[in-house]
Amino acid sequence: MATSLVAGSVVVGALAGTAPASAATGKNGVLEPGEIGFYRGFLAGPVFDLSTGDPDFSDDHFPGTAIPVAGNIDSVRNRDTRHWVAFTGRNFTGSQLCLAPRTAGTLAPGRDISSAIPGIC
Ligand SMILES: [Ca+2]
Ligand SMILES: [Ca+2]
């Protein structure tokens, strides 16, 4: 874990006002380490980035755009060290798609994702 890397310099780093390298801000439109990103396009263009699970994509837009996430996901990249499970239904229901750490792929035509959460799959 990253904890051992910062031992001994925790106070200095915290007071400097710099966010830890492991910190990721979900839904800011930037796919950072520790997040999974759902793209409107082939691993490019607007990205819906999550650092924690979201049970319902229908109330989200691609950050910085007016494009609804639901129904508009074409590809996905997992920049997390965790597995994520994506679901075709809201509230983690329906068919599951297992997304291993540091992998990426394109959704099959007609396939869509409505919720996702880190987890074993
Ligand atoms: Ca982010
Ligand atoms: Ca949501």
Give residue 44 CA to ligand 1 midpoint distance, Å: 14
Q: Is the pLDDT of residue 119 over 60?
A: yes
- Give the pLDDT band of residue 22 (cuts 50, 70, 90): low
Q: How far does the centroid of ligand 2 lie from the alpha carbon of residue 9, in Å?
A: 37
- 34-58 pLDDT tens trace: 999 999 999 999 999 999 999 999 9
Give the CATH fold of the 25-118 domain: Gamma-B Crystallin; domain 1 (2.60.20)
Instruction: Please check whether residue 77 is in contact with residue 87, taking contact to mean a CB–CB distance below 8 angstroms.
Output: no
C-alpha–C-alpha distance, residues 13 and 100, integer Å: 31
In the chain, where the domains are located: 25-118
Give 59-107 pLDDT, tens digit per residue.
Answer: 999 999 999 999 999 999 999 999 999 999 999 999 999 999 999 999 9
Output the pLDDT for position 4.
46
34 CA → ligand 1 middle, Å: 9
Q: How far is CA 111 from CA 3, 51, 65, 77, 119, in A?
A: 39, 22, 22, 16, 21
